[in-house]
Amino acid sequence: MTARVGVVTFPGSLDDGDAARAVRIAGAEPVRLWHGDAELHGVDAVVLPGGFSYGDYLRCGAIARFAPVMEKIVDASRGGLPVLGICNGFQILCEAHLLPGALTRNQHLHFRNRDQVLRVESVGTAWTNAFQEGQEILIPVKNGEGCYVADTATLDELEGEGRVVARYVGGNPNGSQRDIAAITNPAGNVVGIMPHPEHAVEALTGPSLDGLGFFTSVLKHLVGTPA
């Protein structure tokens, strides 16, 4: 049976089509979820895609967090549903308190789009088990508010528990504390990542195919989880 991976569209989501494409290329069935949905249509995992939900006018992700579909996702994630938040999705996960800390304005104050090297530091999550620990990957980063901040205790806890999933290598594109690019919750099913793996799944349109690993990981994870 093919896994069904939901991709949520909020008003202002932009990379939802790309996330769905990446799910498809990885061999799963993408299921489009609407922000107003009151149910998850039986999906096995969820991707919160990049974009500017509700214009991101107040704080990125602050308004999306209150969408009806988010209530379901928050509940289901507590039961182990794998959830990947990419860029705006990461911001939404932090605003929804599924992940600690916050994403703030890039330190240089500009939107920045570049191909970025990351080091995968935790392969124990639902979304990174296809990588090798310490593997360096190249995927695009593009954000205006991607600077990860948290208090020292939280940062130490993340490090101590191996919950820093990926770090920027060869230059930090936004000033994130401790070069953090991706983190996970204690259970490892919820991952937030600032760069865009869904834009590195085709040789023709991406800088590499390294992004695919996130989407194949969740399939591997789902096979291992009894339904």
Partner 1 sequence: MTTHPDPAVRETPGTFPAVPTEPRAAAVAPQGSPVDAGRPAAPAPAAEWVAGVDTVPRAAGTPEELQPYAELGLRDDEYDRIRHILGRRPTQAELAMYSIMWSEHCSYKSSKVHLRQFGEKAPPSDRLLAGIGENAGVVRVSDELAVTFKVESHNHPSFVEPYQGAATGVGGIVRDILAMGARPVAVMDPLRFGAADHPDTARVLPGVVAGVGGYGNCLGLPNIGGEVVFDPCYQGNPLVNALCLGVLPVDRLQKKDATGPGNIVVLMGARTGRDGIGGVSVLASATFDEGSEQRRPSVQVGDPFMEKLLIEACLELYDAELVVGIQDLGGAGLTCALTETAASAGTGMRVWLERVPLREPSMEPHEILASESQERMLLVVSPDKLEAVLKTAEKWGVWATAIGEVTAPSPDGQPGRLVVTWHDQLVVDVPPGSLVDDGPVYARPMREPADLILLQADRAETLPRPTDPEALRETVLRMIASPNLADKTWVTEQYDRYVLGNTVLAQPEDSGVIRIDERTGLGVALSVDGNGRYARLDPYNGTKLALAEAYRNVAVTGAKPIAVTNCLNFGSPEDPGVMWQFAEAVRGLADGCLELGIPVTGGNVSFYNQTGAAPIHPTPVVGVLGVLDDVADRVPMGFVPRAGGDHDQLFLLGD
Partner 2 sequence: MPRVVVDVMLKPEILDPQGQAVANALPRLGVSDVASVRIGRRIEIEFTGEPDLDRAREIADKLLANPVIEDFTVRVVEADETVDAHP
List residues near partner 2 by CB under 8 A: 54-55, 57-59, 62-63, 66-67, 94-95, 100-102, 104-109, 147, 149-151, 175
- Are 62 and 95 spatial neighbours (Cβ–Cβ below 8 Å)? yes
From the list partner 1, partner 2, none, which binds 110 (C-beta under 5 to 8 Å, kind-based)?
A: partner 1
Active site residue 87: yes
**By rule CB under 8 A, what string of x and - marks binding of each residue 174-203 to partner 1?**
----------------------x-xx--x-
Q: Which among 86, 90, 107, 110 has a CA at the least distance from the CA of 98?
A: 90
CA nearest 195: which of 185, 187, 183? 183
Separation between Cα atoms, residue 102 and residue 56, nearest integer Å: 14
Q: Which partner, partner 2, partner 1, none, binds residue 21 by CB below 5 to 8 Å per kind?
A: partner 1
Please give the Cα distance from 187 to 210 (Å, whole number): 24
Query: Which residues make Cβ contacts (< 8 Å) with residue 217, sequence separation at least 6?
Result: 125, 126, 127, 128, 129, 130, 131
Does 144 bind partner 1 (CB under 8 A)? Our answer is: yes
**Residue 195 Cβ vs partner 2, minimum distance, rounded to whole Å:** 20
Choose which of 65, 72, 119, 142 interacts with partner 1 (CB under 8 A).
142
Catalytic pick among 35, 60, 87, 147: 87
Q: Known catalytic residue: 60?
A: no
Q: How many chain residues bind partner 1 (CB under 8 A)?
A: 29
User: Any contact of residue 56 with partner 1 (CB under 8 A)?
Assistant: yes
Residue 10 contacts residue 35 (beta carbons within 8 Å): yes
Report, in Å, the least distance between residue 200 CB and partner 1.
Answer: 9
d(CA 147, CA 172): 9
Q: Are 50 and 154 in contact (CB under 8 A)?
A: no
Mapping DSSP to helix (H, G, I), strand (E, B) and coil, where does residue 109 land?
A: coil
Candidate list 95, 121, 145, 198, residue with the active-site label: 198
- Partner touching 51 among partner 1, partner 2, none, CB below 5 to 8 Å by kind: partner 1
Residue 94 among the catalytic residues: no
Contact between 184 and 165 under an 8 Å Cβ cutoff? The reply is yes
Residues that bind partner 1 (CB under 8 A): 11-12, 14-15, 17-18, 21, 50-52, 54-57, 110-114, 140, 142, 144, 196, 198-199, 202, 204-206
- Mind telling me the catalytic residues? 87, 196, 198
